[in-house]
A and B are shown apart, each in its own frame.
Chain A
């Protein structure tokens, strides 16, 4: 059905708690991304995954880690969340890292860290 699904859509966590954001895609895409979007800063790349267990830091990886054990799933983990990690997180996928491939985005996960 060509869909990227993110869970949960909304999450409130206390500072210091762990956060798990999950992303799934049903298109057998090789490449998956995690972005965060903040007012005035636009979309910033956190991590990219080229395939299972093949992950690379993006522009702002500090405070985050990722896991990709299956091609269709890509998780973003915040160990000990901080208030400045309050944001909207978007997962995206593309067929490969060939620059001609369209990005497909999930609906976003809104995280508030208090």
Chain B
């Protein structure tokens, strides 16, 4: 079965609303990363977060190892947050990506 599952698959917000993106994994965690991909563009690393909570501006990532989940919280969303958010689970050389959450923030 799929090792990394993301939810929701897509999300539409009004500017200013908050978002909670989820990543669940079925195998043991070595590291968890969150990436942002703008439409038609490359992937940019947001967080490397194997456990605990990390903050970066309006973004917060929380990984709970024993529950095999990681979340990405976006507060006070902006139109420029629109794009796809991917989580990736790494173990040794292998990095497995979730299928992503497409976020659209409208003005």
**Segment of B10-18, B57-65, B72-80, B94-102 engaged in the interface with chain A:** B94-102
Q: Are A42 and B98 in contact (CB under 8 A)?
A: yes
Pick from B42, B90, B95, B100: contact of A106, CB under 8 Å = B42
Tell me which residues across on chain A come within 8 A of B21, comparing CB atoms. none
Q: Are B42 and A107 in contact (CB under 8 A)?
A: yes
A45 within 8 A of B: yes
**Docked CA distance A57–B93 (Å):** 11
Provided the pairs A33-B95, A42-B100, A45-B95 are in contact, do residues A102 and B48 lie with their beta carbons within 8 angstroms? yes
Residues of B contacting A: mostly: strand
Q: Which of A96-112 contact B (CB under 8 A)?
A: 97, 99-100, 102-108
Residue among B41, B42, B86 having the largest count of chain A Cβ atoms under 10 Å:
B42
**Docked CA distance A108–B92 (Å):** 24
Residue among B30, B92, B97 having the largest count of chain A Cβ atoms under 10 Å:
B97
Q: Are A56 and B48 in contact (CB under 8 A)?
A: no
B71 within 8 A of A: no
Q: How large is the interface on A (under 10, 10 to 19, 20 to 34, 35 or more residues)?
A: 20 to 34
A12 within 8 A of B: no
Residues of A contacting B: mostly: strand
Residue among B31, B43, B98 having the largest count of chain A Cβ atoms under 10 Å:
B43
**Docked CA distance A82–B43 (Å):** 26
**Docked CA distance A40–B84 (Å):** 13
Residue among B45, B92, B95, B98 having the largest count of chain A Cβ atoms under 10 Å:
B95
Beyond A43-B97, A100-B48, 8 additional contacts (C-beta under 8 Å) are A31-B93, A42-B86, A97-B92, A99-B92, A100-B31, A102-B48, A103-B33, A105-B35
| Chain B interface residues toward A at CB < 8 A | 30-31, 33, 35, 41-45, 48, 50, 86, 88, 90-95, 97-100
| Chain A interface residues toward B at CB < 8 A | 31, 33, 40-43, 45, 48, 50, 56, 90, 92, 97, 99-100, 102-108
